[in-house]
Amino acid sequence: MDSNAQLTHNLMRELEETRRQLYEAREIIEAIRTGQVDALVVQNGSIHELYTLKTADHAYRVFIEKMTEGALTLSPNGIILYANSRFSDMIGLPLSTIIGLPFEQFIAENDRPFYRKLFKLSWKGDAKGEVDIFYKHHRTPVQLSLTALELAEGTSLSIIITDLTLQKATQRKLEENNRQLEHLNHTLEDSNHDLQQFASVASHDLQEPLRKIQIFSNLLRIKSADNLTNDEIAYLEKIIGSADRMKSLIIEILNYSRLSADDSEFLPTDLNLVLKELLEDFELLIADKKAKVLNYGLPVLEVNRGQIRQVFQNLISNALKFSKNDMPPVIEIRSKWLADKSFTSSEQETGPFCLLTISDNGIGFDEKYATIVFSLFQRLHPKDSFEGTGIGLAITKKIIEKHHGLIQVKSAVGVGTQFMIILPLKQIANGQSS
């Protein structure tokens, strides 16, 4: 056999031997991964030796292999002794290549000092931290959970690697949404401020010419009544009536705009006293209507006294206004404590929320309008039949919301109406109820 043939023969034999050794190594690694052989590869100088695990368990190995997180076992000097398939997928290398490499080489360079700190701490107790895994220009944010593990040949380090890519993307999206929301809030606050300024100025400027219309119309009615025809007197009365309604509307718009300002002062207030004062103001109207207002007892709550008085005023005024012609109005006011801020909440004697109900036996309305009655300028009855601006219930709802409460209404045509209000017992500094 010539020298070339001999060389070719030797190379083929070496190649076959290399293939056999590679196949054997792959079989060993697969056996370790699947639990058929309970062993680890441990570096010893320039070679790697195989050691069995003291507490290896087949079910545990299968569990590790099926995990959605990466899993590693490191030697005391940071060499990878075991890796599951998930970690192999993370870095894009076959398991046979990973075993025996230092794990630190897969940590992004700027995170390596932090990783070394974690690695050092983990031998004394469990440690966690976030780093980036970097390989072949691909960066993956992960969380490392490190735990020391007792093996037959000594202590090794178990690392669970959780991919944070989705979590980080969600977090970035959330932060971006928060920034946009903050910007929108600032814009809204500026718009609200401008609206309040406009409403205040407009209301003041509108009242001045309106006042002159009222004054001169009344003077004309007093001094020239004898010289006016019946039609002219009727026209004049319509002018005076319209001016009066416009004045009420301007005042209500101004009151509504002022509620946007964050200037509420909440103090413990006996609602019985608030109601008593209000009923004194309504004394003549109540007597004229032969109405009964029955108060079954109200609590002491932390409220803005003036605003809550306006709530009672709007609701009782409506109950008196929308009463039946052939039946004296009966208005009942009750309260009870609730466990939760919900109209379906159970009653609780020492609950943190109070349910107030104001019921009447008036003309009522179709309950399909129960939501829109709280909208601005909504009227369910002709203005010729009942006075009003259509703003009162919108103001009422806004006041209740500023008190971190809830309001809803139930009604039936010809039966009556019931307003239900939930208010917290106490208000706290950050604008939430107790």
Q: Which residue matches tokens 């399909």?
A: 368
Kindly give, in sequence order, each residue whose CB lies less than 8 Å from that of residue 425, ignoring residues fewer than 6 positions away. Answer: 299, 301, 302, 351, 352, 353, 354, 434
User: Hey, what are 432's tokens?
Assistant: 């939430």
> Is CATH 2.130.10.10 the right assignment for the domain spanning 264-434?
no
Note down pLDDT in tens along the chain; length 434 residues: 566 666 666 667 766 765 665 555 556 555 554 555 444 555 555 555 544 444 444 444 555 555 678 888 888 888 888 888 888 888 888 888 888 889 998 998 899 999 999 999 888 888 888 899 888 778 889 888 888 877 666 778 888 888 888 888 888 888 888 888 888 877 777 666 666 666 666 666 667 777 788 888 888 878 777 777 888 888 888 888 777 777 766 776 666 666 655 556 788 999 999 999 888 888 888 898 899 999 999 999 999 888 888 899 889 988 998 888 888 999 999 999 999 999 999 999 888 999 999 999 988 888 887 777 877 555 554 444 445 446 778 888 988 988 999 999 998 888 999 999 999 998 875 445 55
Cα separation of 221 and 379, whole Å? 31
Q: Which CATH class is domain 3-163?
A: alpha beta
**Contact call for residues 166 and 216 (beta carbons, < 8 A):** no
Q: Which fold has domain 177-262?
A: Helix Hairpins (1.10.287)
pTM: 0.47
**Residue-range domain boundaries for the chain:** 3-163, 177-262, 264-434
Tokens (6 digits) for 181: 């929301």
